[in-house]
Structure 1
Amino acid sequence: MRANAVYSFGATLPVRGMLGRLVARKYRKTEGTGLYGERQNRSTSGIDCGRPSGVAVVEFAVVAPIFFLLILGLIEFGRMVMVQQVITNASREGARRAIIQGVTTAEVISVVQDYLASGGIRSATVTVTPDPIDSAGYGEPVTVTVSVPFRQVSWLPSPMFLGGVELRATTTMRREAVQ
């Protein structure tokens, strides 16, 4: 049996076999419906009116604040994780320098400040204990602590979620002094 089917995309193709009849039935063009049989918004002349309903505007007004709040939260928490990683590495570098024989506290603070500056952090507080470092003997702990208020390193003008948080990293290593 040979038949022709007119499809919604304008083609007239011969229908062959059971599969062809199923495809023809699914995509057959009917008056006033779209590709999958949904009703079209048409005027009496058959031209698409194109009048948008207010539903999209209302949905956007409801969803947009939540969406933007989510995006700003992601930016803020991402920056917090990045700064925490930088200050952790800076305290580790300072502690590695502090355990060496003959190093002063000023040198350790300078190493930490240089590392922080390369990460874009300029307003951190660095503490080295014991001070002076030479007061710690062989195998005794030397601690380097770096802290910075998140408000000073945030990329947002006014941090919403983490404004009052102080980021802190502490590294303790044993001194390698001569006995």
Structure 2
Amino acid sequence: MLLMGIIDLGRGVMAQNSLSHAAREGAHAGLFKEHDVAEVRTAVAKQIGLAAGLDGVTAEVSYAGRDGTPNTKEAGGTVTVTVSGTFRAVTPMMNAFIPGGLPLSASAQSVVQ
């Protein structure tokens, strides 16, 4: 039982790393001015498809201009990608500690070119 709990803990760390990697990939896709929000979400979805144990994964994409103006996509501005999901443990012992799952989130930011 303890071994399964340790394995679940490792799965949770892997899930957080997967969210972080997906956010970075999304920010990388969004740094090109020609790419739209759908392309950023597609890049995130490709990475999340490799993650196990995550439910309800969402990706939020926001742009800001050089001067910080929200919803402005221009060269020199920033794109921020936030990926969130819920990690579900497979062992009853871990589920007792995190009923309903553990919410995880990761963000990445890039400069639009």
Do both proteins adopt the same fold according to a TM-score greater than 0.5, normalized to the shorter chain?
A: yes
- TM-score, length basis structure 2: 0.78
Deviation for aligned residue 1:127: 0.5
Residue 139 of structure 1 aligns to a residue whose secondary structure is coil
- Where relative contact order (Cα < 8 A, 6+ residues apart) is larger, the structure is 2
User: Which one of the candidate residues 119, 124, 147 is aligned to 2:57?
Assistant: 124
Q: 1:73 aligned to 2:5?
A: yes
What secondary structure does 2:105 align onto? strand
1:155 aligns with 2:90: yes
Write the distance in 1 (CA, Å) between the matches of 2:21 and 2:104.
13
Alpha carbons 1:97, 1:103 under 8 Å: kept: yes
> Alignment partner of 2:75: what SS?
coil
TM-score, normalised to structure 1, is 0.52
Alignment of 1:107-118 (within 5 A): 107-118=39-50
Amino acid at match of 1:146: V
1:85 alignment partner AA? N
Larger Rg: 1
Per-residue Cα deviation, 1:140-166 (whole angstroms, up to 9, x for no partner): 221001111113xx3336723334421
Quote how far apart the aligned CAs of 1:115 are: 1.3
Q: Which structure 1 segments of 5+ residues have no match?
A: 1-67
Normalized per residue, which structure has more strand?
Answer: 2
**Identity over aligned residues, as a percent?**
32
The within-5 A match list for 1:17-166 is: 68=1, 70-120=2-52, 121=54, 123-130=56-63, 135-151=72-88, 154-156=89-91, 159-163=95-99, 164-166=101-103
Give 4+ residue runs of structure 1 displaced > 4 Å after superposition: none
Letter in structure 1 aligned against 2:104: L
| Counterpart residue number, 1:60 | none
Structure 2: runs of 5 or more not aligned = 65-70
Q: Distance in 1 between matches of 2:96 and 2:8?
A: 8
Task: Give per-residue Cα distances to partners, 1:72-96, cap 9 Å, x unaligned.
Answer: 3212211100101111111100100
CA contact (8 A) 1:137 1:175 kept: yes
